[in-house]
Amino acid sequence: MTDTNIYSSDRRQCAKFLYRGSFGPKKGQIDQLQKNGFDAWFDEQLSIPPTYHLPKLKALFNSTSYTHAQDDMRQGIWWQCTVTGEDQLRQRMAYALSQLFVVSSNGVGSVNDGLANYYDMLVTHAFGNFRDLFKAVTISPMMGRYLTLSGSKKHDPENNTFPDENFPRECIQLFTIGLWQLNEYGEPILDHNGNKIPTYDQNDVENMSRLLCGWYINYPHWQHDWINPMLADNSQHDMGEKNVMGTHFPAGQDIHQDLDGVVDMLFNHSNTPAFVAIHLIKRFVTSNPNRNYIKRIADIFVDNGNGIRGDLQATIKAVLTDPDVFAGLANAAGQGTQGEHQHFGLLKEPVIVVANQLRALNMQAAGDHWWDTQWAEVTYGQAALSAETVFNFYKPTDAPQGEIADLGLTAPEFTIITADIMRKTHNRMFYNLLKWNKTDYKEWHWDRTDFHDLSMGTTEYVALINERFFGGLMSKSLQNYMYKTLASHSAPYQLKIRYLNAIYIATTAPEFFCEG
């Protein structure tokens, strides 16, 4: 693993690191990282107790007269944990995992206590072992409802019914190994005709459905239990012999034995290390990783250095500290050294951009609890556990038409950055700046003291904005643009609002939406 000590004195590397490994730096955190070093940061982040969502949601719900938790309550709690949580790496990891093991309100409905509990499961396992996480996901009542594993029963010849194939198919295709056999670099393996080799076929899916039938969501007192794992019913489990992707499952195994067998099969599949590595690299660092970067992360997934496979703590640490990250190197796409540097980084998701803004402002709730004043799903085209389909907000291979697609590169986030979403996002980001004086109990507010110094000169304003919102990474061209704009807003009646306009101009600039 990279010796991070050699980068600790580089303030720009510290700033970039915090934009990748958290939801954005707050005041003073870059200086603290530079002083203490990356290893100390990891030690701290890995030891901070998890910030859980469900207890906060329950506290908010109990303060109201509603009969059940509302969507804006759950999303408000997500923003609270994102903006104020000290366990930033864990929260960022949980969000990345929520885009791998997709469960969505657009499928289960407004079961907000269950959704918050599902998210907390991701929080719990964020630094654990991938096998444990995958097993917990499989028997989660939210997943059972979303991908209809709950109630799946063994084949009934009399009624011509069969086990449900929904979750068995998606857990192979989307959660663990993908469609095609991969080499250790995450590249598809080709047969002698140059064609990609599928990882599974319909027969495998049918046998997987036989392995996983018999689970159901508990229903005590005529109420679904959305919190505890699904229950097992061996009377509805297929006890026959099964064969899936070359793995033999002998007859006579009960539902728990077959579940463990499925989890072990996919956990130990040769595709899984690279599949997980690619997902995490794309969510944290760059949309177009170098093949050797993928292999190095996959190798850590295979063996964390102590002979343990699937250690997510070691894996995410490797993702954030790989040599390619500090050097800013990506897939060159045939364009040599220039391409390696030009293709590094990613377009931030709207909620990540806004989270960066909110943390820079040190946004707080005006009342005792956080409510979703962003209306994130409508405004940004995304919100926590609200993807339109099981394929997430976008697919990892998505690319906008033009140069990116022509070079065989990807930029998945462009899928949701439509002109309308960009307009709404810009508007909401300005509205966030206006929250400095909000007092309504559902609102948020921030302290404008540092920015509301009317005697501050243009150079000082730009320097403050550069430091607070860009971590000192603002380009010279944007700084020059800011100088010219602020110089033209110096009339007495403009002084009281120019700091808001200046922040708005800076944070809606294209480079604020990018991570390099």
DSSP 361-385: HT-EESSSS----S-HHHHHS--TT
Q: Residue 492 has what pLDDT?
A: 66
**In this model, does residue 481 exceed pLDDT 70?**
yes
Element (H, E) at 242: strand 242-244
**pLDDT tens track for 229-286:** 999 999 999 999 999 999 999 999 999 999 999 999 999 999 999 999 999 999 999 9
Place of tokens 């958290």: 22
Q: State both tokens at 205.
A: 């899916």
The candidate with the shortest Cα–Cα distance to 391, out of 93, 97, 99, is 99
* CA–CA gap between residue 241 and residue 211 (Å, rounded): 9
49 pLDDT higher than 90: yes
Percent of the chain with pLDDT over 70: 98
Residue 490 pLDDT > 70, yes or no?
no
pLDDT score of 499 more than 80? yes
CA torsion, points 236, 241, 245, 247, in degrees to nearest 10? Answer: 120
**Residue 132 neighbours by CB distance under 10 Å:** 15
The C-alpha atoms of residue 377 and residue 74 are separated, in whole angstroms, by 12
Q: What is the pLDDT of residues 304-324, one digit of tens each?
A: 999 999 999 999 999 999 999
Q: In b/e form, how buried is each residue of 243-260, taking b as 16+ CB within 10 angstroms?
A: ebbebebeeebebeebbe
455 confidence band (pLDDT: 50, 70, 90)? confident
CB hemisphere CA count around 461 (13 angstroms): 30
- Say if residues 472 and 12 touch (Cβ distance below 8 Å): yes
- Mean pLDDT, rounded, for 432-437: 94
> Residues 410, 396: contact at Cβ < 8 Å?
yes
Give the residue among 70, 114, 104, 102 at the shortest CA–CA distance from 370.
70
The mean pLDDT of the chain is 96
The predicted model gives 137-144 an average pLDDT of: 98
- Whether 443 contacts 494, CB under 8 Å: no
Q: Report the pLDDT averaged over residues 440-466.
A: 92
- 498: pLDDT confidence band, cut at 50, 70 and 90? confident
Tell me the C-alpha distance between 310 and 132, whole Å.
9
For the cut 70, the answer to whether the pLDDT of residue 379 exceeds it is yes
What confidence tier does 2 reach under pLDDT thresholds 50, 70, 90? Answer: confident
Three-point CA angle 329, 332, 336, nearest 5°: 105
How much is the pLDDT for 321?
A: 97
C-alpha–C-alpha distance, residues 363 and 354, integer Å: 11
What would the two tokens of residue 343 be?
């293709």
Q: What is the pLDDT of residue 493?
A: 65
pLDDT tens digits, one per residue of 382-396: 999 999 999 999 999
- Helix, strand, or coil (residue 189): coil
| Cβ contact 344:329 at 8 Å | yes
Mean pLDDT value of segment 338-353: 96
Confidence class of residue 92 from pLDDT cuts 50, 70 and 90? very high
The predicted pLDDT at position 454 comes to 79
Measured CA to CA, the distance from residue 87 to residue 331 in angstroms comes to 31
Burial of 74 (0-12, 13-18, 19+ CB in 10 A): buried
Q: How confident is the model at residue 489 (pLDDT cuts 50, 70, 90)?
A: low
Predicted confidence (pLDDT) at residue 436 exceeds the cutoff of 80: yes
Dist CA 254 CA 249 (whole Å): 11
Per-residue confidence band for 224, with pLDDT thresholds at 50, 70 and 90: very high
